[in-house]
């Protein structure tokens, strides 16, 4: 019988891309495998995956997608939680019968070495146990958030109050202390439904066959060591850890605008351009867009800026519904595009981020600190300005600024806005100052470490070999 591994991502595009890259990596190590990816519908608009899935299907025939029937939340489902993650946890829980049916079907013709789940898909662990299939977690963030995630049950038992009510930074083994406000929002309130979903997923993780993480040892040595030594689950089991990154995708869903970006970059001096992009969900208010524009204009630096249509609210940071397509001229300060056209390019919605970051003209990256974006910058050797917006991005910022020191911080005002003065100051600092030069040198050194980790005999190469060898012993 043929060998198979089944991958089960949450349906958001960022999580799906990471899971597909894991599938490709497993195929490179074990070409005899077939990779099966389970696809559910989305609980909220987290970016279309149709074109991306079609592209993978056309180019990697050993990866097979299984589309579940559309599942909807029951009419009587209600939650007081403001976090969209609650909807994802519930929808994925309702998909357990689909998981059971599909795994049973695949097992008829394959030896299934494992079900690899996203942490949102924790309910499926029970299905894997019932079918006697080893279940692994694939953690699409880095070790700096994984150690917090593993430590959540300890914090929950140790303190009777919510993270949002802590007065001091929180000490978690293996990472710098994290300010309570930087903790992923669904983890800040212990009485919130989303928090309960994460707590449950963390406890279930301790019973899994292993944790696969998209990181590498030289990027997060302290966090990784704390997990391996069991410090993040005191008194309980820590499953085997496999750091197999950095996994990044070289392709994305192209809307046709990629050539314009790359042609424009070809005409810019080496290392002169600041690239601003805030992920597939990152959005700003009109007021914030104007502050960014004024800061860029005053900085005098060359820039390539990806702008998404703004939110109506002042501080919404993640787009979970479709926003109307607006004219750039109406969003940005009057005359801005005309005044900066010789040294700046503003594109709507999307740019080919991996290709842009790899372009020799790009010398800095203003990022929301999404883990995929962080790894893409690391692999390109580009220093960052860390501007977290949602999810675990505050945790990533602490790592990048205080631990690996390959980013400088962007600081918000008390009203949650980043001022044009702050944008100007930080862009200049990254591109012109001595501190910016040191961050750049460390980013270039980390690029070499990333390459070494994935090379034969490197730490990530060996971790993947350990994972696939463990299957032979089952």
- Give the model confidence (pLDDT) of 147-156 as tens digits: 999 999 999 9
Between 3.40.50.2000, 3.30.1490.190, 3.40.50.2300, 3.30.70.360, what CATH number should domain 2-246+453-472 receive? Answer: 3.40.50.2000
- Say if residue 191 is preceded by a cis peptide, omega within 30 of 0: no
User: Stretch 76-90: mean pLDDT, rounded?
Assistant: 89
Percent of the chain with pLDDT strictly greater than 90: 82
Confidence label for 454 from pLDDT (cuts 50, 70 and 90): very high
User: Stretch 55-79: mean pLDDT, rounded?
Assistant: 92
Q: Could you tell me the maximum CA-CA distance found in the chain, to the nearest angstrom?
A: 66
Instruction: Provide the residue ranges of all domains of the chain, joining segments of one domain with +.
Output: 2-246+453-472, 258-451
Confidence label for 319 from pLDDT (cuts 50, 70 and 90): low
pLDDT attached to residue 425: 98
d(CA 118, CA 138): 5
pLDDT tops 70 at residue 325: no
d(CA 443, CA 226): 24
pLDDT tops 70 at residue 317: no
Confidence label for 350 from pLDDT (cuts 50, 70 and 90): confident
User: Stretch 162-191: mean pLDDT, rounded?
Assistant: 97
Asked if 410 and 425 touch (Cβ cutoff 8 Å), the reply is no
Collapse the DSSP code of 51 into the 3-class scheme (helix H, G, I; strand E, B; otherwise coil) and give the result. helix
Per CATH, the number for 258-451 is: 3.40.50.2000
d(CA 51, CA 62): 18
Domains 2-246+453-472 and 258-451 belong to one CATH topology: yes
pLDDT attached to residue 179: 96
User: Stretch 39-61: mean pLDDT, rounded?
Assistant: 89
Asked if 351 and 277 touch (Cβ cutoff 8 Å), the reply is yes
Taking only the tens place, the pLDDT of each residue in 249-291 is 865 545 455 789 999 999 999 999 999 999 877 889 999 999 9
Q: Please, what is the end-to-end C-alpha distance for the chain in angstroms? A: 15
Confidence label for 176 from pLDDT (cuts 50, 70 and 90): very high
For the record, the structure tokens of 59 come out as 């180019």
Collapse the DSSP code of 102 into the 3-class scheme (helix H, G, I; strand E, B; otherwise coil) and give the result. helix
């Amino acid at each position: 019988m043929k060998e198979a591994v089944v991958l089960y991502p949450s349906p958001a595009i960022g999580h799906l891309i990471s899971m597909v890259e894991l599938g490709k990596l497993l195929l490179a190590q074990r070409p005899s495998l077939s990779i099966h990816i389970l696809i559910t519908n989305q609980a909220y608009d987290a970016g279309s995956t149709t074109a991306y899935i079609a592209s993978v299907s056309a180019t990697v025939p050993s990866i097979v997608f299984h589309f579940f029937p559309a599942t909807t939340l029951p009419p009587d489902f209600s939650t007081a939680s403001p976090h969209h993650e609650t909807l994802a946890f519930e929808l994925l829980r309702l998909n357990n019968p689909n998981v059971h049916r599909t795994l049973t079907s695949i097992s008829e013709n394959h030896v299934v070495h494992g079900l690899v789940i996203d942490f949102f898909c924790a309910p499926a662990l029970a299905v894997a146990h019932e079918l006697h299939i080893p279940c692994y977690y694939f953690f699409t963030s880095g070790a700096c958030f994984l150690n917090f995630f593993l430590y959540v049950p300890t914090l929950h038992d140790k303190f009777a109050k919510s993270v949002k009510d802590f007065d001091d930074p929180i000490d978690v083994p293996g990472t710098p202390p994290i300010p309570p406000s930087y903790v992923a929002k669904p983890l800040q309130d212990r009485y919130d439904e989303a928090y309960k979903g994460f707590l449950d997923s963390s406890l279930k993780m301790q019973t899994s066959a292993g944790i696969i993480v998209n990181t590498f040892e030289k990027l997060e040595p302290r966090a990784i060591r704390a997990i391996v030594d069991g410090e993040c689950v005191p008194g309980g089991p820590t499953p085997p850890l496999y750091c197999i990154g950095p996994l990044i995708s070289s392709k994305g869903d192209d809307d046709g605008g990629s050539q314009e970006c790359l042609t424009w970059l070809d005409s810019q001096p080496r290392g002169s351009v600041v690239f601003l992009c805030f992920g597939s969900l990152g959005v700003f208010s009109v007021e914030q867009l104007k502050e960014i524009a004024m800061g860029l204009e005053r900085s005098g630096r060359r820039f390539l800026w990806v702008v998404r249509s703004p939110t109506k609210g002042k501080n919404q940071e993640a787009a979970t519904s479709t926003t109307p397509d607006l004219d750039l001229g109406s969003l940005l300060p009057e005359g801005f595009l005309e005044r900066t056209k010789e040294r700046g390019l503003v594109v709507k919605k999307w740019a080919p981020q991996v290709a842009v970051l790899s372009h020799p003209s790009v010398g800095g990256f203003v990022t929301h600190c999404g883990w995929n974006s962080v790894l893409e910058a690391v692999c390109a050797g580009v220093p960052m300005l860390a501007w977290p917006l949602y999810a675990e991005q505050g945790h990533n910022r602490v790592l990048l600024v205080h631990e690996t020191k390959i980013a400088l911080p962007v600081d918000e005002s008390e009203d949650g806005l980043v001022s044009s003065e702050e944008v100007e100051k930080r862009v200049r600092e990254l591109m012109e100052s001595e501190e910016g030069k040191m961050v750049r040198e460390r980013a270039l050194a980390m690029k070499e470490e990333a390459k070494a980790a994935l090379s034969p005999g490197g730490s990530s190469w060996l971790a993947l070999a350990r994972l696939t060898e463990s299957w032979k012993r089952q």
